Amino acid sequence: MTRLFASLRIALRALMVNKMRSALTMLGIIIGVSAVIAMIAVGSGAKKRIAEQIASMGSNLLIVMSGSSTSGGLRFGMGTVPTLTVEDAKAIQVEIPGVKYVAPNLGGVAQVIFGNQNWSTIVNGTTPEVLDIREWPLASGRSFTQQDVDGAAKVCLVGKTVAENLFGGSDPTGQIIRIKNVPFTVLGVLAPKGQSTWGQDQDDIIFVPLRTAQKRLFGMQFPGMVKQIAVQAREPELMKDVENQINDLLRQRHRIQPAQDNDFTVRNLTEVMASAEQSANVMSLLLGAIASISLIVGGIGIMNIMLVSVTERTREIGIRIAVGAKGNDILLQFLIESLVLSLIGGIMGIGVGVVGTIVLAAFTQWPTLFSMQAILLAFLFSGSVGVFFGFYPARKASLLNPIEALRYE
Amino acid sequence: MTDTVIQVRDLVKVYSLGEVEVQALRSVSLLIGRGEFVAIMGASGSGKSTFMNILGFLDRPTSGQYLLEGMSGEKLSMDELAEIRNRKIGFVFQGFNLLSRTSALENVELPLVYAGAPTSKRKEMAQMALAEVNLKGREHHHPSQLSGGEQQRVAIARALVNQPSIILADEPTGNLDSKTSVEIMGVFQRLNGEKGITIIMITHEPDIAAFAKRNILFKDGRIVDDHPNSTPTAAVPGGGVR
């Protein structure tokens, strides 16, 4: 123990002798460690944002879209012909056990007027379950009910963006707005959700009861039809089963022959999100790898300086060996020296990395996230860089021939 | 002088420099008893430095036998030899070989660090050794703040601190003026006389060798002369010759 302490003191003194050199060598490690910290923070910030967006979409979500139509050999895009009905939605709810909530919807863009303000937004006719599926609470007021849907009540819920544009600061609850010139009573305001993964403003929306939308707003051409059915599975593991069962059920209900294409499409949103998350993972891995390279370059700097130091201090090593230092004593002395260099560099690098990331986040508005593990990892990594790159010079020192070392000028 | 400290028989050392073989030592045999003060003389290339390195366990002979207090280093590892050097041998070099930027006290402590002595004991023993060479009060001076003679005395204190069996001095006065040289010889004579420490010293100056009690002459890797010096020059403490 006293020996270790003595070695530590010798190492610190040796580093103090060449302050400038030690500082520059540390700079390599500081840059490397701070880059690793910053990159991990940016990477995990991006991952966290994606995770939040997934949560805001609603978990375990499947979207059934009414499908493409084929007319005289021409195949049209998805949703061109509404093929889904409210009965399809009910059948999915009743017949597939893995389904928790079902919310059919029919919507489109419509002009909305309140007083002398007007605003174009997405109006979605749906059922109250949509708020459960998307885990979307109300900021104020109340939601519409199944009775409102059945009775085609002229009521609505508005998103935050719509509320701001039509009502400014005042409370919209209880006010009458006109959608496509039909008067609707605002029952409540949705809590803000922010942007979706693809940058769409999710708060720019109005929910109305499905029957109302069918009868009053969009249903003239295809009565009883819906555009989409949002389906929430009970468990993430059931997603695949539910998807297959919806396929089978709807093919049967729509009387599609085995050789024919579906007239609907089932989209697994969790899968879409998973791939987004995966690309975020790849990105943070890539950033981390690039940052690690700078740490390795810093390590080479340590090795270089330690080799110079060993050569410079050949005579000192000779003296130490002559008075009884063993190979391991010399090895330890130089190893501790490089370890001290790299660990001090590591600690300073953590400081620079954290401050740098906070500054970066403030300027770029990027989401960043520090984790204790990442900081600890960077610290340990810098230490192992010190040991790894310090070992060769230290070993070289420990193997010096004392006679030649003492003669060294 | 019945107790033999160093026992050397048929010592041979051959260096191979590429294709050429250099015979540094050709069959050297020698006995040195406890409490002797031996001066080894010889021109450069006579093999005296090689001999010293072998005596100090810094080098191994090509053949022959060397026993320090009856113990051979032949089969020992480098680390074991380091331990013997640490415990039994004190080195004094021509160029002092002190660690710069390190106080006199810490320089003297160095062998004790490698012996694993606890800090407080190290300090105490180093202070005693420095007092032995009349450097009390200069413990915290760095080598650059000391004169050549003082630096060499720090080196002697370092050689003494582990209470070794022998002190090996390689041209200890080579870098010193004649007055300081006498001062150093005075230190050696006192340590040899009062403490009975065995000292083996290399020198090429006859008047320095005259301070020793026995003179050995090397030539071409052999001992050509070995005689006791019945009237060694006496160094008066504080310099000057009596």
DSSP characters over A78-122: TTSS--EEHHHHHHHHHH-TTEEEEEEEEEEEEEEEETTEEEEEE
Q: Would the pLDDT of A220 be above 60?
A: no
Instruction: For residue A322, give how far its alpha carbon lies from the nearest alpha carbon of chain B (Å).
Output: 7
Nearest to A324 among B59, B93, B111 (CB): B111
- pLDDT greater than 50 at residue A149: yes
Could A403 and B53 be called an inter-chain contact, meaning their C-beta atoms sit closer than 8 Å?
A: yes
Nearest residue in chain A measured CA to CA from B118: A2
Output the CA angle A26-A27-A33, nearest 5 degrees. 90
Of A325, A402, A403, the CB nearest to B114: A325
Facing B91 at nearest CB: one of A6, A17, A323: A323
Question: A218: pLDDT confidence band, cut at 50, 70 and 90?
Answer: confident
C-beta atoms of A2 and B119 within 8 A: yes
For A403, name the nearest residue in chain B, comparing CA atoms only: B58
What's the sign of the alpha-carbon dihedral A155, A159, A162, A168?
positive
Greater pLDDT, B130 or A193: B130
Mean pLDDT confidence for A66-74:
62
A336 exposure class (CB count in 10 Å sphere: 0-12, 13-18, 19+): buried
B contacts of A316 (beta carbons < 8 Å): 99
The distance of Cα A197 from the centroid of its chain, to the nearest Å, equals 10
pLDDT, residue B1, reads 45
| Residue B111 in contact with partner chain A when CB distance is under 8 A | yes
The chain B residue lying nearest A333, using CA atoms, is: B114
Closest alpha carbon to A319 in B146, B40, B90, B125: B90
Contact indicator for B56, A323 with CB cutoff of 8 Å: no
Which ipTM did the prediction report? 0.91
pLDDT tens for residues A338-372? 999 999 999 999 999 999 999 988 888 888 888 88
Percent of chain A at pLDDT above 90?
A: 28
Which residue type is seen at B91?
Answer: F
Residue B91, SS3 per DSSP:
strand
Does any CB of chain A come closer than 8 Å to the CB of residue B143? Answer: no
**Once rounded to an integer, what is the mean pLDDT over residues A275-293?**
83
- Residues constituting chain B: 242
Q: Does B142 touch chain A (CB under 8 A)?
A: no
CA A408 to each of CA A310, A312, A401, A405: distance values in angstroms, whole numbers, following the listed order: 12, 9, 11, 5
Cβ pair B99:A324 closer than 8 A: no
* DSSP sequence for B139-151: TT--GGGS-HHHH
SS3 for B192? Answer: helix
Classify residue A347 by burial, with Cβ atoms within 10 Å: 0-12, 13-18, 19+.
Answer: middle
Nearest CB among A3, A13, A316 relative to B113 is that of A3
The pLDDT score that the predictor gives to residue B239 is 45
Whether A323 sits inside 8 A of B114 (CB atoms) is yes
Residue in B with minimal Cα distance to A399: B78
Q: How far is A347 from chain B (nearest CA, A)?
A: 28
pLDDT bracket for residue A335 (50, 70, 90): very high
Q: Which of residues 150-179 of B touch A (CB under 8 A)?
A: 158, 162
Q: Percentages helix, strand, coil for chain A, rounded to the nearest 5?
A: 55, 20, 25
> Which chain B residue's Cα is nearest to A318?
B97
Residue of B nearest to A406 (CA): B97
pLDDT > 80? residue A77? no
- The residue that leads in pLDDT, B50 or A47, is B50
Size (chain A), residues: 409
Interface subset of B 66-95, CB within 8 angstroms of A: 78-79, 82-83, 85-87, 91, 93
Residue B180 near residue B148, CB atoms below 8 Å: yes
Q: What is the mean pLDDT of residues A76-92?
A: 75
CATH 1.10.10.10 fits B35-64+75-228, yes or no: no
Alpha helices in B34-177 (DSSP H): 48-55, 78-88, 104-115, 119-132, 148-160
pLDDT of residue A136: 87
What pLDDT, on a 0 to 100 scale, did the predictor assign at position B242? 43
Q: Nearest CA of chain B to the CA of A312: how many Å?
A: 13
Considering only CB atoms, A406 lies closest to which of B82, B86, B97, namely: B97
Q: Burial, B196: exposed, middle or buried (Cβ in 10 Å; 0-12, 13-18, 19+)?
A: exposed
CA distance A310 to A399: 11
- Residue of A169 and A39 predicted with greater confidence: A39
For chain A, say whether B123 makes contact (Cβ under 8 Å).
Answer: no
Tell whether B60 lies on the interface with A, counting CB pairs under 8 A: no
User: Does A403 sit within 8 Å of B59, measured CB to CB?
Assistant: yes
Task: Give me the helices (H) in A221-313, please.
Answer: 239-253, 269-312
Rounded Cα gap, residues B181 and B172, in angstroms: 8
- pLDDT, residue A81, reads 62
**How far does the CA of residue A392 sit from the closest CA of chain B (Å)?**
19
The secondary structure element, H or E, covering residue B201 is strand B198-202
The pLDDT of residue A377: 87
CB A106 within 8 A of CB A133: no
Contact at CB, B114 and A328, closer than 8 angstroms: no
Closest CB to A316 among B87, B99, B111: B99
CB atoms within 10 A of CB A332: 21
pLDDT in tens, A395-408: 999 999 998 898 88
Chain A residues within an 8 Å CB radius of B111: 323-324
Q: pLDDT tens string for chain B (242 positions)?
A: 458 999 999 999 998 888 888 889 999 999 999 999 999 999 888 889 899 999 999 999 999 999 999 889 888 998 999 999 999 999 999 888 999 888 999 999 999 988 988 889 999 999 999 998 989 889 999 999 999 999 999 999 999 999 998 999 999 998 899 899 999 999 999 999 988 899 999 998 999 999 999 999 999 999 999 999 888 888 765 444 44
- Say whether residue B134 is in contact with chain A using an 8 A CB cutoff: no
Cα of A19 to nearest chain B Cα, Å: 14
Residue A101 predicted with pLDDT over 80: yes
Question: With contacts defined as CB-CB under 8 Å, which chain B residues touch A325?
Answer: 82, 114
Question: What pLDDT score was predicted for residue A310?
Answer: 93
Nearest to A229 by CA among A62, A60, A57, A56: A62
Residue A406, H or E segment: helix A402-407
Where are chain A's structural domains?
A: 2-53+275-407, 100-231
User: What residues of chain A lie within 8 A of the CB of B98, using their CB?
Assistant: 319
Q: What is the pLDDT of residue B236?
A: 65
Dump pLDDT digits (tens) for B55-70: 999 999 999 999 999 8
Interface contact flag, B99 A319, Cβ < 8 Å: yes
To the nearest whole number, what is the mean pLDDT of chain A?
85
Q: Is A137 helix (H, G, I), strand (E, B) or coil?
A: coil
Domain boundaries, chain B: 35-64+75-228
Residues from chain B that touch A406, judged by Cβ atoms under 8 A, are 93, 97
Size of interface A-B (CB pairs under 8 A): 60
Q: What is the pLDDT of residues A157-166, one digit of tens each?
A: 999 999 888 8
Which of the pair, A76 or B127, is modelled with greater confidence? B127
